[in-house]
Structure 1
Amino acid sequence: MTNIDAPTQVSDPQDIALELTCPIGLENILEKELHELGLTNTRLGEAQVKLSTDLKGMYQACLWSRVATRVMMPLATFKVTNAEELYQGVSDIDWAEHMTFDNTIAIDCHGTNNAIRNSQFGAVKTKDAIADYFVKKTGHRPSVDKQAPDLRIALKIKRDNATLSLDLSGESMHRRGYRQQGAMAPLKENLAAGLLMRAGWSKNSKFQQLVDPMCGSGTFLVEAALISLNIAPGSRRQYWGFKGWKKHDHRLWQQLMDLAKNERISPEDLNVRFQGTDREQKAIAAARENIKRAGLTGIIDVSMSAFQTHDFDWSSQPSLIMVNPPYGERLGDEMALIALYRQLGDWAIAHADQGELMLLTSSENLARQIPIRPEKNTRVLNGGLECRAYRFPVLDSHIKAGSREQIGLSPGAQMVANRLQKNLKKLRKWLHKEQISCYRVYDADMPEYAVAIDIYNDWAHVQEYQAPKSVDENKAQQRLFEVVSAIPTALDIPETNVVVKQRSRQSGKQQYEKVDHSQHEMVVSEYDCDFIVNLKDYLDTGLFLDHRPVRKLIQDRANGVRFLNLFCYTATASVHAGQGGAKTTLSVDMSNTYTEWARRNIELNEFSERDHKVVRADCFEWLRRAQDEYDLIFMDPPTFSNSKKMEGVLDIQRDHVDLIELAMARLSSSGELIFSNNYRRFELADELIERYDVTNVTHQSLDPDFERNQKIHQCWVLKHK
């Protein structure tokens, strides 16, 4: 069998052909880095640089490369059109030149073809060929160690060709040894270092400080400090693939390690500053631990704070701002992030004059929000997601016209922010007293800003009311943007925790259809009850905030009763009844989505399925067939429904008499029916008022956060006379 373009078998460690892989887009940076190490015999490839060097050069590349992912030494390339050719190609390599039978090995196989259809099969076939090679020579076979083998061997299959290499790095070189395993999964260290170098950061760069306003676990900051201190990125790593290689020169490696330690710059001689902030406590905790593990405590300063309000020290200029902001998963997320990106650009203009902003994002639209013209951008992959790193020079020649005058919130956004802060101040004492964490903070208070803003713990849920046709679409979009811009500053909520939805009339199946698939669930509490809410996936969140007093009324009156919840939605009222001591609860709704959600809410509060049942049915039909009696009934039907799951169409104004009559037939003689709906022009029929003891409790069923919207719902209590 003939090798195809096979690398020369390595008999002389002074003549080594290597392939250094790296993140896509950083090939030039890796090559430049190698040249600065004196390793100039290079050739660029896609996501790799080929290097011809000696043993010392190979060690230097491993020890000093900040950008490389792996250092591979190809042994042979051969045709693989069947399994036997793979076996033979591996067997033809002189393995005794690289290892002994008592070495442990691990095989990594990447790629398949028509002959090798499974990477695991390719790895096993390669292992068998190496084992058989040594059995023939020595009568012994090497063992497999997948975690930390003496020699890691890589098989790469592409179409009908296979390349077999020694992985001299042993594991990905982005693992420097300072980041906790299993912690947050941020930017990989070598990608962060490459982007820093792309921005011009070096141990002798013009920049006097690095600032990361959304530092996460601190990767940009740590990598920049390692560069400035001239600390070799491989100096902390304990495991290397070449240590089990037969040609490894331990003495030479140790000499290079010692030399690297001597070339470090003392922290006392540093003339650059490193500052970072992040809103998330978890992120800052991870950053501080990584900084400590990297030996950089006291060199890098990180704070849990929003960058917009943090008091950075800008005395060291020019500054390089490196940031990997959130990209957004859906259109509503992007709307919320537009404000963040604009603020980032404004903030950079205000504080980093003559410096540079380097921003990594997957969204070209978001990058356009920066009020600075980018100099260039670099395509990279971040966690498999295609992104671009944009360089924004903070120079007059690049700043868009008028941007310096527009720094901060626009007048409209500031007006919204002022109203939000005023509303929150008014509600704060009541919220604290009632221990309420989910509430409405704004409901079209200013008609031109026609949105409702609800708070769920530390998230803001923004519902845009559909603008009249007379309102210009671009104007409506601008107003929505101003609202979203105001929320993080006014309410101290991270930009990533703002969810935006546009409201419109929904009917039938549309009421229950998903609008997203992010499965964004969280648990919130209300009067000792826990509920699952979902802020993104559906038009509604799973908790009607305006019904909070109604649910509390049910909880207060539920002790020992048999409770029926019609049109139950997610059964929040049933949970309150159970918490109030109801003997039994029965929740009825015709939606699969909401009855399943109801069961999960009931289970979350640890109520037994035997006493707290959920039924999927058309409430009209269920009532017509029902025989049991209940002491407390709650009914909050939709205004209109034409679901295929029900016969005919429900119109609450037209049908409420029949509906209430059916429900009253199931009510015990001393029981109560709580009837509510949100049709603004609804009028309770006179015949019901005459037939039953009716009390309008609408005013009592509205908490302070809904005082502005007196017609958000109407509510009555009906009893038998």
Structure 2
Amino acid sequence: MTDIQTPSQDGGQQNIALELTCPIGLENILEKELHALGLTNTRLGEAQVKLTTDLKGMYQACLWSRVATRVMMPLATFKVTNADELYQGVLDVDWSEHMHPDNTIAIDCHGTNHAIRNTQFGAVRTKDAIADFFVKKTGQRPSVEKQNPDLRIALKIKRDNATLSLDLSGDSLHRRGYRQQGAMAPLKENLAAGLLLRAGWSKDAPFKQLVDPMCGSGTFLVEAALISMNIAPGARRQYWGFKGWKKHDHRMWQQLMDLAKNERVDPADLNVRFQGTDREQKAIAAARENIKRAGLSGVVEVSMSSFQSHEFDWSSQPTLIMVNPPYGERLGDEMALIALYRQLGDWAIEHADQGEMMMLTSSENLARQIPIRPEKSTRVLNGGLECRAYRFPINDSHIKAGSREQIGLSPGAQMVGNRLQKNIKKLRKWLQKENVTCYRVYDADMPEYSVAIDIYNDWAHVQEYQAPKSVDENKAQQRLFEVVSAIPTALDIPETNVVVKQRLRQSGKQQYEKVDHSQHEMIVEEHGCDFIVNLKDYLDTGLFLDHRPVRKLIQDKANGKRFLNLFCYTASGSVHAGQGGAKTTLSVDMSNTYTEWARRNIELNEFSERDHQVVRADCFEWLRRSQDEFDLIFMDPPTFSNSKKMAGVLDIQRDHVDLIDLAMARLSSEGELIFSNNYRRFELAPELEERYQVQNITHKSLDPDFERNQKIHQCWILKHK
């Protein structure tokens, strides 16, 4: 076992070896911070700085470090190849130097090996050894107290080595005391402070204001104000691990605390400003509470607003913009954020000329959307997610060419934009004449840009088709970025109104599962009918745009008819039938999600539940049991389904004859069955033409926005002979 020096009882001047942990990537910042405190005997490690100092230096590090996570004092290192070695290594420490037998303790064990297989076991063996040390020496034993113990002991196991330390901070130093536990705050205080220091913010910094356009709970703003006012980050903390330590010098600590209070800058003497905005009410409420608890009311200003529309006061220059924007957890989320990042960069250029912007993000692709070349970036971890903090100097030498004019589209994006403008020009007269507001404007017109783009009022819904394995994944992703970046200008759509999804081959219940939980619903209108669509939460939006002519056909034929809608989805066909004067409608689908959606669509259009019913059932089984008769039937089954709710597996090519025969059995003698499906290789069985009158209306069922894709669906009308 190796013992490590600790201070003597007589004044604490003996050297103390400490390990200060910190967020990865901020080791240099922590070392500079310690040097500024006069603590210069340091050595860098991974996510830590080793410091040799005296008792006063230890207190200063605890009280003043804005970047450190914990201040640890190693007591011993020893081999741990079995549980007995762990026990003996802990027992060999002279615990009477550090604590009294009636003190309370807590053990934090980190790491395992082949002998110590779980941290709870490691903590228990450590506790047993300390207890046995005091029982043998005094007949007493310390008790365990998990919350605020007199002494917190840390055991770190890495391979066959163990390090036993006192946790002098007692709790993570990022907990300054101004933020309520459980409040929304993904960015830890010490990470925020470290990034501010990395950006050059200090109490003597050249910046005249700090602006956070997406401030969340206000962490950047509060930490910057604490730096400018020279308020010690540890001044508000009530609990410290060293207060129960036997060698704690209460008088020295109190003197340092008093001195720290006297060094604070009066708010009236500040010559810097702190401004923040956020669109979320919950975030602003948390920020205001944190500002109040930090004693910074009147110093830090926050407003509930988007940064694009907020009237910031830009009279104090130069400005440092600190921002932690959303990153996007999935590809579609990331794509949807392209516009936000571009707006952020353009906004910074417009308002903070000759200033700087520090941005934290996990997405390199999104960082590239900022029209400024970064000077440097720092790898850090934010909540376990690997991110980079980019430092953007806002000056002519770093602003990308064309950014001030907001040009900057790549040649590929310009090509996509030109095609979109060409398509919209071709469709414009038809759209105005038919009053169509939801339509397809692009469907893989250029094979290398394999997406479908649908417009829903002033929103663009982008679906990426699954690329062949031969296509490089990075190239496909870059092309998708180009498509998304071209849309706002080409289609005159707000950049934030672009939703991106990746469409893969779906089967069974996958087609019904949620891909998001944003509940992004809106109401759209079509031929006098209103529909609820959801652009984000599901792969499909709730309205198949290619069936617009078929729905109009149903509306025209429905007057006085009994209408049956099989595989009804969200019952848009039933709503059109009701609008056309159908006597009754019945909508059948096996999905609980879509039958509930169908009921809401019917209710939205003010049709009575009595005459316009929705049934959740397997359409095959329902047809086999039903004895009802209908005058007009619409059926648009999926290509394939193996849902657990079905008695069997549906394969539309194999099963369509049985399905149509069952439906025709429910059709009145003068009735019509409209049958459609989107299986590209589908062939209608010849035997059906022998039994029924069959008319292929596919070419009539496609509006101009789907003329480019003749295989989007096939459609027939069947009647009894």
SS at match of 2:126: helix
**Aligned residue for 2:255?**
255
Distance apart, 1:716 and its partner CA = 10
Name the amino acid aligned to 1:65. S
- Pairing of 1:20-99 with structure 2 (within 5 A): 20-99=20-99
Q: How far apart are 1:109 and its partner, in Å?
A: 0.3
The 3-state SS of whatever aligns with 1:179 is: coil
User: 2:459–2:493: 8 Å Cα contact kept in structure 1?
Assistant: no
Residue 215 of structure 1 aligns to a residue whose secondary structure is coil
Give the alignment partner of residue 627 of structure 2, picking from 626, 629, 635: 629
State the alpha-carbon separation in 1 of the partners of residues 289 and 491 from structure 2: 28
Q: What is the deviation of 1:56?
A: 1.9
Match of 1:587 among 589, 609, 612: 589
Give me the whole-angstrom Cα distance separating, in 2, the residues matched to 1:318 and 1:7.
48
Aligned with 1:11: secondary structure? coil
Q: Does 1:461 align with 2:464?
A: no
- Aligned counterparts of 2:482 and 2:203: Cα–Cα separation in 1: 46
Query: Per-residue deviation at 1:373?
Result: 2.5
Structure 1 residue aligned with 2:206: 206
Partner AA of 2:101 in structure 1: F
The match for 1:520 is: 516
Match runs of 1:226-245 below 5 Å: 226-245=226-245
- Asked if 1:221 corresponds to 2:221, the answer is yes
The range that moved more, 480-489 or 182-191, is 480-489
Asked if 1 retains the 8 angstrom alpha-carbon contact of 2:203 and 2:228, the reply is yes
TM value normalised by structure 2:
0.76
SS in 2 for 1:650: helix
| Matched residue type, 2:294 | A
Q: Distance in 1 between matches of 2:368 and 2:512?
A: 25
Task: Give the match for residue 435 of structure 1.
Answer: none
Shift of the alpha carbon at 1:582? 10
Aligned partners of 1:95 and 1:488: how far apart in 2?
A: 73
Q: Does residue 665 of structure 1 match 2:665?
A: yes
Counterpart-to-counterpart distance in 1, 2:295 and 2:635? 61
Q: 1:152 to 1:534 in 2, by over 3 A?
A: farther
**1:337 aligned partner:** 337
2:605 maps to none
**Displacement of 1:603:** 12
The verdict on how the C-alpha distance between 1:348 and 1:647 changes in structure 2, with shifts beyond 3 A counting, is closer
- In structure 2, the residue matched to 1:375 is 375
Residue 223 of structure 1 deviates from its aligned partner by 0.9
Q: CA deviation at 1:352?
A: 1.8
What code does the residue aligned with 1:629 have? Q
Pick the aligned partner of 1:614 from 613, 617, 623: 617
What aligned pairs does 1:71-220 form with structure 2 within 5 A after superposition? 71-220=71-220
Name the structure 1 match of 2:536. 535
Q: 1:196 Cα shift?
A: 0.6
Contact 1:520/1:534, CA 8 A, preserved across alignment:
no
Pair 1:640–1:166, CA change in 2 (3 A): closer
Unpaired runs of 5+ in structure 2? 468-474, 525-529, 602-608
Q: CA deviation at 1:401?
A: 3.0
AA aligned opposite 2:280 = E
Following TM superposition, by how much is the alpha carbon of 1:251 offset from its aligned partner in structure 2, in angstroms? 2.7
Amino acid at match of 1:650: Q
Distance in 2 (alpha carbons) for counterparts of 1:266 and 1:354: 28
**1:650 has 2:653 as partner:** yes
**Is 1:11 matched up with 2:14?**
no
Aligned counterparts of 1:658 and 1:214: Cα–Cα separation in 2: 58
Question: In the alignment, does 2:484 pair up with 1:500?
Answer: no
- 2:508–2:640: 8 Å Cα contact kept in structure 1? no
C-alpha spacing 1:61/1:718, structure 2 compared with 1 (3 Å): same
- What's the counterpart of residue 453 of structure 2? 452
Q: 1:186–1:123: structure 2 CA closer, same or farther, 3 Å change rule?
A: same
TM-score for both structures, normalised by structure 1: 0.76
| Cα distance in structure 2, aligned partners of 1:517 and 1:10 | 62
What is the CA-CA distance between 1:209 and the residue it aligns to?
1.1
SS of 1:521's partner is coil
Separation of aligned partners in 1, 2:394 and 2:63: 35
Percentage of pairs with the same residue: 68
Could you tell me how far apart the structure 2 residues matched to 1:516 and 1:28 are? 50
How far does the alpha carbon of each residue in 1:473-492 deviate from its partner, in whole angstroms, 9 at most, with x for none? 99975762334545999448
**Gap change, CA 1:671 and 1:49, over 3 Å in 2:** same
Number of residue pairs the alignment of both structures matches: 669
SS in 1 for 2:388: strand
The question of whether the paired residues in 1 share the 8 Å contact of 2:460 and 2:499 is answered with yes
Please, what is the CA RMSD of the aligned residues? Answer: 5.4
**For the residues of structure 1 that align with 2:290 and 2:652, how far apart are their CA atoms?**
61
Q: Distance in 1 between matches of 2:257 and 2:65?
A: 14
1:667 and 1:358 map into 2 onto residues whose CA distance is 67
Alpha carbons of 1:474 and 1:386: their partners in 2 closer, same or farther (altered >3 Å)? closer
| AA in 2 matched with 1:521 | H
Moved more, 669-678 or 372-381: 669-678
Is structure 2 residue 274 aligned with structure 1 residue 277?
Answer: no
**Cα contact 1:23–1:69 (8 A) shared by 2:** yes
* 1-structure distance, mates of 2:476, 2:166: 60
Distance 2:347 2:265 in 1: 32
Structure 1 Cα separation of the partners of residues 489 and 384 of structure 2: 33
Structure 1 counterpart of 2:589, which letter?
S
